[in-house]
Chains A and B, each alone.
Chain A
Amino acid sequence: MNLVLPSLGFGIITASTLLPAAVGFTLQFSATGVLNIAFGAQMTFAAFIAYVCTQAGLSIWLALAAAAVCGALASALLNRFLLTPFARRGTTFFGMVVVTIALALLVEYAVELIWGPLPVSYPLTAPGLVHVGPMSFTHSQLVVLAIGVVFAIGTHALLRYTRAGKAIRAVADNRDLARSSGISAQRITDLAWLVSGLMGGAAGVMLGISLSSVSYTMGDTFLLEIVAAAVLGGVGQVYGAMLGALVIGVLLQESAIVLGGAYAPISAFAVLILVLLIRPTGILAGAAKAKGVS
């Protein structure tokens, strides 16, 4: 039997998880200029917060909301009390990357120390299957898909129709210009970290749901897929990241079927490298901006 179409369903689920993560990652990167390697670890942290919530008797969806909020707060605090002070001290771009790697290790291994090295899982309700053509989804997968769509629409609305969103876009396009036209960089930076923490937190829980297990290395592994989606879409391009998430998500699942599970990440990255060779600025990148000393 041909499995390509059914696995498209899995691909879409993976993409729904990848979408808020990639959008959050790229939004924060373009607005603040900090390449945040700790993003995956933040996702893991949120996923475990949700686990604690479900252990305390909350439903998984409430736990997801709580984890997203925690993720947002943690991310904002992190920026305020760690990254901004380092940036003020004149730490270079490269230095900041190293700071976030250190942070990733701290968070990841703290999670391991607290919750142990073995994976845990969320209590999910019995899986009734819903069939859509050749694809079938569990109820939780459908909710994950719905959340992904909500995030896509929400991001679009935020960036297009709110003042804050427009300001983020302006800063992402040209930080110096935006600053000189009176946009408060500090507030936008805070907001960008908050939003990316929210999205990352939600994505962490969504990942835990779709993998049906949560472990301390989970976010770190997933980070590579996030980076792949973000780079594929053109770093800083929010809609590009959405498209990148879809492409990488579907590609991961399809190649798992065609080539075998172990090869799935490799094929996705191979496509990424190929795209970069043809279009170094990503699939959705606009015309090259005159970057540099101006």
Chain B
Amino acid sequence: MAKHQHAHPVVDLRTSPYIRRAPSVPQIMRNVVYALLPVCAFSVYLFGISALALMIVTTLACLLSEQFFCRMAGKKSTLPDFSAVITGLLLALTLPPGFPLWMGALAGIIGISMGKLLFGGIGYNVFNPALVGRAFVQAAFPVAISTWTPTLAANRFSEFIPSTLALPFMTPAPTAEWSQTVAIDGFTGATPLALMKFEGVMVRTSDLFFGTTAGSAGETSALLILLCGAYLVARNMMDWRLPAAVIAGTAICAECFYLLDPDTYPTPLFMIFSGGLMLGAVFMASDMVASPVTPWGIVLYGLLIGLLTVLIRLFGGLTEGVMYAILFANAASPLLESFTQPKVFGDQ
């Protein structure tokens, strides 16, 4: 700034460009939180106060551990950038609604500390922190993480699912009996993917689309998740090619198997709308930091997630494969980026 009419002008120079118009990092992160809120609200509507408590606990765990580690490292608090809130909410949405709260808190702490701050905080994480937390509890608490409860239980707003309030390091109360008493009609305790895998039963795709089936808190309504993703795309805060590539990858791979043997393998539509695929495609795979920046890298990354998801679902030991598919793709992201560098304009 050139000071005018001054004996000893203070000159403070900087270089072009002098104007910028970009959403700031906190603005982007805040908008992702806004986009997640309807998904969270619908989850609370389906599963009641247990889901709400889980979200609050995981988010608090993420925020507190981020604050703690920032202070330990003597760095400025990174809480105002809102990225820890996203991790907390996403984590809750990937867990069963009746997941014991203390385990949820542990997942949050592990996700933030091992998945994010260990690598240097926002911008440096190799993996999606929420999925790191979930992968940890998947390994540590295999029973709790595959205990599902019915949607729309009559008393969901007045009492917790019995397992929710388990004390740390205690076996959570069994929920099977409770589920039978509160379910509107017959509840099998299995997600659509588990029904497909172990019993060969296909849930109607429309039920999946509107989200009234059992599952994690957030893997319910594909329609709602798509709408929330559309908001982010419209605000230019998410690359639409990424979720599109994940969905396309899933559809292509599932279609191949379906064509091979329509009796054994599910339809591509079922694959797309079941489990956590939609949540994973729209909110998890699209974690900017852990995904490639190059146009073709983004497409390959999405296709890879789709492919791995279908393979794990059909041939792996687990019913759901989205989490590991995304973690694998996160690890492959720098590699994908390195051989998809954009072709320079004018290069033949």
Q: Do A and B bind each other?
A: no
Interface residues of A, Cβ cutoff 8 Å to B: none
